[in-house]
Amino acid sequence: MRKTILAAVIAAVAGGAAVPVLADPPFDAKDPKYAPYIAGEKRSGYTFAEPETRAMQDDDFSNPGFLWVEEGKKMWSKVDGKAGKACKDCHGDAEKSMKGVGTVYPRFDPHANALLTLEQKINQCRTERMEAQPLKFDSKPYNAIATFVKHQSFGMPFAVQTDGPVAPYFDMGRRLYYERRGMSDVACKHCHEDYWGMHMRTELLSQGMPNGFPQYRLKWQTLGTAQKRIRGCFEEVRAEPYPVDSLENTVLELYATWRANGLRVESPAVRK
Amino acid sequence: MQTSITRLALAAVLAVALAGLAEAAPRKKAPERGYFDVSRMAPLTDQKGDPANGRKVAATKGLCVSCHVMPIPEQPDHGDVGPDLAGVGSRMQPPELRMRIVDPKVLYADTIMPSFYKSDLNRVKKGLEGKPFLTAQEVEDVVAYLATLK
């Protein structure tokens, strides 16, 4: 709405152009204040967000994502499961032990002999070490513990691996990233590689960098993971989403996260 | 004059000879529908396109304004992913417009533009499988509308 009004004002000033001009949020790659949100040509979704959304993310008290961080912090030292353990009992102080962990997932897990997202790794720990129930996808505790763990890497650059045992997953992720799907018959790359910076209606297309997940989305009015967002993208192009934690959704998360290598962890980010 | 008649005669002889050869050669598969295939150029329906409805479809169901600036001022926030369509009726003939709406990948393999009248798409959302984005008549209406943009 704000944008529409602004655009109308600009159009009026410009002398009544037939079609209103969209006003993009401010961004200047040379301005040092944006340095934490760029890496070479890569731009965090932060730089595509409206100033109000950025301000909400910047202030820990106004950022709704911190409700999940706080909840996750409580879970960290709470005993759960038949083994009578809390995360803390094995991992100690999360600020030390989890620092940097959020920058390397999705990651190949030799124990599971599979590629795991951070959320899948947490559930593996719960079922196998704590002998607790796995947390249900997109539930409050599922999102909370993942956000808390990821937040311990805040400000650190992503560095997911793509070689060795990850190579076949990475190749599959790339293939899916470039595969057309849905009634709109587009691939991820069409919006996020070819046309970022352009507009679909009021939507300013971003580079699709997932460095803020789990993140609070104003559209959702809640926080969610990359797995959830990828499925949302499928819905938007009228494609049938792959199931949560399916191989397809996980390798897509891997490929998208690899694209963000070098950008910094912003979890919990705030986006529109 | 003399040479052009000779040339024509020669061309005719060659054409007959080639046609004979083509007939003799075993045909392995049906040729793919290419750019110049008339079936891509022909209207999809017998009913003539309705420009007024085409304008409506462009602004609503067809989502054309999501990516193109169009002379539809009552709709705010036109996208700029595709080219501005003002005057497109002067630049292209209806068959050219139709081809770009039905399946633009015939011309631009890597385009972001959807194919609006293609039903064999990949991984379409359950319940929408096999259905094209627009009906044949809606495509004809949009073509008729775009042809008026001169």
CA distance B38 to chain A (A): 24
CB A6 within 8 A of CB A23: yes
What is the predicted pLDDT for the residue at A246? Answer: 97
Q: Is B77 on the interface with A (CB under 8 A)?
A: yes
- In single-letter form, the type of residue at position B140 comes to E
Identify whether A125 is a catalytic site residue: no
- Segment A185-199 mean pLDDT: 98
Say what the alpha-carbon torsion angle A94, A100, A105, A107 is, to the nearest 10 degrees.
-100
Confidence of residue A14 (pLDDT cuts 50, 70, 90): very low
Which range is most confident: A21-25, A139-143, B36-40? Answer: A139-143
CATH topology assigned to domain A66-151: Cytochrome Bc1 Complex; Chain D, domain 2 (1.10.760)
Interchain CB distance below 8 Å, B77 and A183: no
User: B8 or A9: whose pLDDT is higher?
Assistant: B8
Residue B25 lies in a domain: no
Q: Is A6 on the interface with B (CB under 8 A)?
A: no
For B125, the closest of A191, A198, A238 (CB atoms) is A238
Q: Is B124 on the interface with A (CB under 8 A)?
A: yes
3-state secondary structure of A239: strand
Domain definitions of chain A by residue range: 1-28, 29-62+158-271, 66-151
Q: What is the ipTM of this complex?
A: 0.88
pLDDT at A2 over 80: no
3-state secondary structure of A110: coil
Residue B148 neighbours by CB under 8 Å, 6+ apart: B51, B89
Interchain CB distance below 8 Å, B114 and A20: no
| Token pair of A10 as six digits | 């600009």
Percent pLDDT > 70 in chain A is 92
Average pLDDT, chain A: 93
CB B143 within 8 A of CB B54: yes
Residue B80 lies in a domain: yes
Backbone angles phi, psi at B44, to 5 degrees: -80, -20
Residue B20 lies in a domain: no
Nearest to A219 by CA among A228, A210, A209, A208: A228
What is the predicted pLDDT for the residue at B9? Answer: 56
Q: CATH number, domain at B122? A: 1.10.760.10
What architecture is the A29-62+158-271 domain classified under in CATH? Orthogonal Bundle (1.10)
- Segment B87-95 mean pLDDT: 96
Confidence of residue A23 (pLDDT cuts 50, 70, 90): confident
- Separation in Å, CA A170 to CA A106, A133, A176, A184: 10, 30, 10, 25
pLDDT at B1 over 90: no
**Parent domain of B124:** 31-147
CB A192 within 8 A of CB A200: no
Angle at A226 between CA A225 and CA A227, to 5 degrees: 90
Q: Is B121 on the interface with A (CB under 8 A)?
A: yes
Query: What H or E segment, with its residue span, contains residue A108?
Result: strand A107-109
CB A72 within 8 A of CB A149: yes
| Token pair of B33 as six digits | 């529908």
Nearest CA in chain A to B103: A185
Q: Is A1 on the interface with B (CB under 8 A)?
A: no
Domain pair A29-62+158-271 / A66-151, same fold: yes
Interchain CB distance below 8 Å, A186 and B112: yes
Q: A107: exposed, middle or buried (C-beta count within 10 Å: 0-12, 13-18, 19+)? A: buried
Confidence of residue B30 (pLDDT cuts 50, 70, 90): low
With the C-alpha atoms ordered A38, A42, A45, A51, is the resulting torsion angle positive or negative? positive
- Segment B96-124 mean pLDDT: 94
Nearest to A173 by CA among A111, A230, A232, A237: A230
Angle at B105 between CA B99 and CA B106, to 5 degrees: 60
- Beta strand A38-39 with A42-43 is antiparallel
What is the predicted pLDDT for the residue at B41? Answer: 77
- What confidence tens digit (pLDDT) does each residue in A130-189 have? 999 999 999 999 999 999 999 999 999 999 999 999 999 999 999 999 999 999 999 999
Residue B2 lies in a domain: no
* DSSP 8-state symbol, A19: S
| Alpha carbon B64 to its chain's center | 15
3-state secondary structure of A32: helix
What is the predicted pLDDT for the residue at A25? Answer: 96
For B128, the closest of A183, A190, A194 (CB atoms) is A183
- Segment A80-89 mean pLDDT: 98
| Alpha carbon A110 to its chain's center | 24
pLDDT at B12 over 70: no
Interchain CB distance below 8 Å, B81 and A238: no
Backbone angles phi, psi at B75, to 5 degrees: -95, 125
- In single-letter form, the type of residue at position B133 comes to F
Q: Is B69 on the interface with A (CB under 8 A)?
A: yes
Tally of domains in chain B: 1
Residue B18 lies in a domain: no
Residue B23 lies in a domain: no
What is the predicted pLDDT for the residue at A12? Answer: 42
CA distance A104 to chain B (A): 30
What is the predicted pLDDT for the residue at A205? Answer: 97
Residue B67 lies in a domain: yes
What is the predicted pLDDT for the residue at B33? Answer: 58
